């Protein structure tokens, strides 16, 4: 989305929201960056709207700030970042007014509920050709359980050591605490409906492999803990 001259862009609105919630949580940029295992300059650039976060980074930010991911989405007209609208009590979320965010690589998430929900992230996702949720050597893991249904295109899904190809009308579910990665296969964009339940129920063991956790070298690279 191109911002109207003089008005903040969607990345700027998203960054403002993240900065506000970080301050509310009493975290410095350096502390948030440390928890996410990213550079403090990356967090600074996201907050100023100069960099769009990746899927993995946005998951991590939302988790550390104790927010539903959908609470960080922005309306397509560039209006205020996602917040409950008391003037719209309807349970229906019209597709024209979905709040969403376009992330690094062009991955697009749109919230399918009128308001954010602390217990579930329910989103419409689009993965353009060549896009992925994270780098091949930086798998994602977080609390909850994921359920996905592919509408069109072909989606690659890696869960732990296993890889799957999910096509149109196929569905998949897995424990989100398992290291995982999603990516578009082929030249067609992937459109899917995705839901994550109980994301805050995170009983993961330490990332160093203690107590049964998968060590980073066991999956071929670094894991992003969200």
Q: What is the pLDDT of residues 18-42, one digit of tens each?
A: 999 999 999 999 999 999 889 999 9
d(CA 192, CA 206): 31
Answer yes or no: are the C-beta atoms of 139 and 170 closer than 8 Å: no
User: What is the pTM assigned to this prediction?
Assistant: 0.73
> Residue 143's pLDDT is what?
84
> Residue 75's pLDDT is what?
57
When mean pLDDT is compared across 60-64, 169-173, 174-178, the lowest value belongs to 60-64
Residue identified by tokens 């979905």 is: 98
> Residue 99's pLDDT is what?
87
Other C-beta atoms closer than 10 Å to the C-beta of 3 total 14
Read off the pLDDT of each residue in 87-109 and give the average, rounded to a whole number. Answer: 84
Over residues 199-221, the pLDDT tens digits come to 765 543 333 333 333 333 333 33
Over residues 105-162, the pLDDT tens digits come to 899 999 999 888 878 889 999 999 999 998 888 888 888 899 999 999 999 999 999 9
Q: What values do phi and psi take at 62, rounded to 5?
A: -60, -40
Average pLDDT, rounded, for the chain: 80
> Residue 130's pLDDT is what?
96
Most distant CA atoms of the chain, gap in Å: 54
The answer, yes or no, to whether residue 195 has pLDDT greater than 80, is yes
Domain ranges of the chain: 10-225
Q: Which strand (E) or helix (H) includes residue 46?
A: helix 40-47
Other C-beta atoms closer than 10 Å to the C-beta of 109 total 23
First to last CA, the chain: 27
Cβ contacts of 51 within 8 Å, gap of 6 or more: 11, 42, 45, 104
> Residue 60's pLDDT is what?
87
d(CA 23, CA 26): 5
> Residue 150's pLDDT is what?
98
The CATH class of 10-225 is mainly beta
Tokens at 70, concatenated:
């959908």
> Residue 9's pLDDT is what?
67
Q: What are the b/e assignments for 9-30, b being 16+ CB within 10 Å?
A: ebbbbbbbbbbebbeeeebebe
d(CA 125, CA 200): 21
> Residue 95's pLDDT is what?
87
Distances (CA, A) of 108 to 27, 47, 77: 28, 19, 15
């Amino acid at each position: 989305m191109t911002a109207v001259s003089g008005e903040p862009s969607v990345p700027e609105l998203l960054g403002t929201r993240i900065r506000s919630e970080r301050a509310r949580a009493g975290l410095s940029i350096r502390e948030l960056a440390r928890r996410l295992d990213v550079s403090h300059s990356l967090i600074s650039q996201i907050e100023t709207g100069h960099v769009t976060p990746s899927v993995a980074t946005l998951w991590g930010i939302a988790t550390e700030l104790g927010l539903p991911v959908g609470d960080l989405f922005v309306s397509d007209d560039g209006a205020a970042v996602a917040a409950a609208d008391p003037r719209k009590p309807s349970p229906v979320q019209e597709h024209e007014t979905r709040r969403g965010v376009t992330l690094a690589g062009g991955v697009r998430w749109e919230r399918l509920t009128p308001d954010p929900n602390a217990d579930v992230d329910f989103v419409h996702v689009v993965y353009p050709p060549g896009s992925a949720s994270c780098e091949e050597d930086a798998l994602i893991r977080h609390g909850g359980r994921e359920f996905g249904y592919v509408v069109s295109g072909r989606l690659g899904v890696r869960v732990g050591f296993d890889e799957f190809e999910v096509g149109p009308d196929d569905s998949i579910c897995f424990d989100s605490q398992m290291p995982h990665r999603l990516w578009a296969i082929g030249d067609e964009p992937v459109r899917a409906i995705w839901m994550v339940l109980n994301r805050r129920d995170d009983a993961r063991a330490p990332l160093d492999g203690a107590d049964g956790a998968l060590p980073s070298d066991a999956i071929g690279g670094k894991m992003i803990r969200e």
